[in-house]
A and B are shown apart, each in its own frame.
Chain A
């Protein structure tokens, strides 16, 4: 690679007036005093619209009778790259396979959304939510009840009208 040298020609400091530039700067300040242009978002009074494909904290879908839709097939803990899902399956009194323990460690989670993608019964979803501050670290392991009671909308990883992305 050829090396080129570019020499800069700057005006001699002793012979240059900075008056014009200073006035230009002051005028800008003056303009912002008269007609302010706010960039800072006034969160939490002002909320940003989240994208429909925003992947945030999880949510478990439930049946009409309040049972979780999850059938404990074990695909989400298998596919999870962060290994943050703990699942112990079992059988309820009606003979349905269901999760006895279903926990997601939201600290470990990298919000890739693969659990939602792999779920054969569309039970686990990533949600359109990000406000998950807590007072203690252990509260970040979300258990089944908490996932089922989540009230935020779920992420649409794809357009339901166009499931094959055509």
Chain B
């Protein structure tokens, strides 16, 4: 992009592409200008009057969010005039604000708190009674506290421009104006309305699910990939006490912009499941015994050695690429065999019309594309059930990764001689299993998911590993090394990814370290975004 406009912001000379706004230009050199109505994913109405800056030669202060840069422009964001104006505007914002920060969920991540702390008056001067509106249930997950609203209309513009279903509007005029819904149902029918909670700069729109659950400063943020569908939206997992408390979108212009759907946002409780396998177990004659990893892997290796070419595997598309590849690789070493997976599929996609290519996809698992590319084949129906007749009737070894096979009745007799369950959750398949090896889930380990569009994106561990669980690629890597005889075992996830990239042509040329927090398109290393 041609950098063809030079201007000066607070004494710093910079060059930016023509058409950039002053606010974006300032942000590009790390200068924050206070703003409410401007949001990088939405249009700018320049109505909050908080981003006004002084421009040399301009008779009045200009809104930096809509004013485009001009050649040799001289901008002062912190001049006395601009500062005084912002302090004044902030005082007006507080005229009707209830100052209920102690009971407000936004407290700690609130733009009004930050801006008033930075640029507001030290003491309020108002003594008039404040407007009281109370709160209103907007439907869905959204709760509206009218008193806290600063009328930036980001939420209205999100519904107009992104969801393109104008369920929110500003009603009344002037100082009585307030955000409201049209009908009783409110935002009930919307599929992306949760985003208005994220973009609300103050505590006016809050999540009912998260209400009073935790304080913003208590939560740890870990970048991750949404595990609820194959779109692969970039998210931040907000955790406290080793539990996921909420899911927030993370910006990635290639995948999801600033947005995630309500389905993905609300569907996090299963990540906190406590019924976990915590120790490796091996069946001896009749009962099952807890043992060490070394014992378990060695005896499993012996068992597999004797059964070469007679192994089938069932995997789960909720597990990362490295783990799925480790299963396929192990079966290759053992002389081949089918690897199948099952995945639930919904009727329709839920599209966000305002953002190109973003939808809640039909496949409700994060790594379906990855499983396909790595060489697993899909079986079963659209509920993620059935399709296991071949596996149940198989007489050799069955290796299960992740899939709890929950719909299979407990008394069903597997025909297999040996069943290996590499899983994170306790399941009925454990009754029949001969080897039970605890593995970590995608939020406990590093790894990658491949989204429906073929974008490989990284995961980071967000919560602690329970018990003796290990990543599946590490367990299976060790096993493969023993079976191959002395081949060095994998010790790091980037080696596991490298092994995958070496074998599966679509992943060739992608390096784990280069994925960053943006991911890379398969077979297209040029498009790796570095931000």
Chain A residues at the B interface, C-beta cutoff of 8 Å: 71-75, 78, 89-91, 95-97, 120-121
Contact = CB atoms under 8 A, between A and B. Distances in A.
Given A91-B212, A97-B212, A75 B135 contact: no
Nearest to A75: B102
Interface string B202-231: 000000000111010110000000000000
Given A73-B107, A89-B213, A91-B212, 18 more contacts: A71-B102, A71-B103, A72-B103, A73-B101, A73-B102, A73-B103, A73-B215, A74-B215, A74-B218, A78-B215, A78-B217, A78-B218, A89-B212, A90-B212, A91-B211, A97-B212, A120-B101, A121-B102
Nearest to A97: B103
B212 A72 contact: yes
Top 8 closest pairs, chain A to chain B, by CB: A73-B102, A74-B215, A97-B103, A89-B212, A120-B102, A71-B103, A71-B102, A97-B212
A1 B102 CA distance: 59
Contacts of B102: 71, 73, 75, 120-121
B215 to A, nearest CB: 4
Interface string B89-124: 000000000000111000100000000000000000
Contacts of A73: 101-103, 107, 215
Interface residues of B, number: 11
A120 B100 CA distance: 10
B498 to A, nearest CB: 43
B494 to A, nearest CB: 37
A95 B145 CA distance: 12
Contacts of A89: 212-213
10 contacts: A71-B103, A72-B212, A73-B102, A75-B102, A78-B217, A90-B212, A91-B212, A97-B212, A120-B102, A121-B102
Contacts of B135: 95
Most buried by A among B135, B211, B212, B213: B212
Contacts of B213: 89
A87 to B, nearest CB: 9
A96 B211 CA distance: 12
Contacts of A74: 215, 218
A86 B457 CA distance: 38
A32 B217 CA distance: 64
A120 B107 CA distance: 13
Contacts of B107: 73
Nearest to B215: A74
Contacts of A121: 102
Contacts of A75: 102
B134 to A, nearest CB: 9
Nearest to A91: B212
Most buried by B among A74, A75, A95: A74
A23 to B, nearest CB: 72
Nearest to A120: B102
Nearest to B99: A120
Contacts of B103: 71-73, 96-97
Most buried by B among A71, A96, A97: A97
A95 B211 CA distance: 11
Nearest to B211: A91
A121 B135 CA distance: 21
B35 to A, nearest CB: 27
Contacts of B101: 73, 120
Nearest to A72: B212
Contacts of B218: 74, 78
A41 B33 CA distance: 65
B241 to A, nearest CB: 11
A73 B103 CA distance: 6
A89 B101 CA distance: 14
A90 B212 CA distance: 6
A73 B108 CA distance: 11
Most buried by A among B102, B135, B218: B102
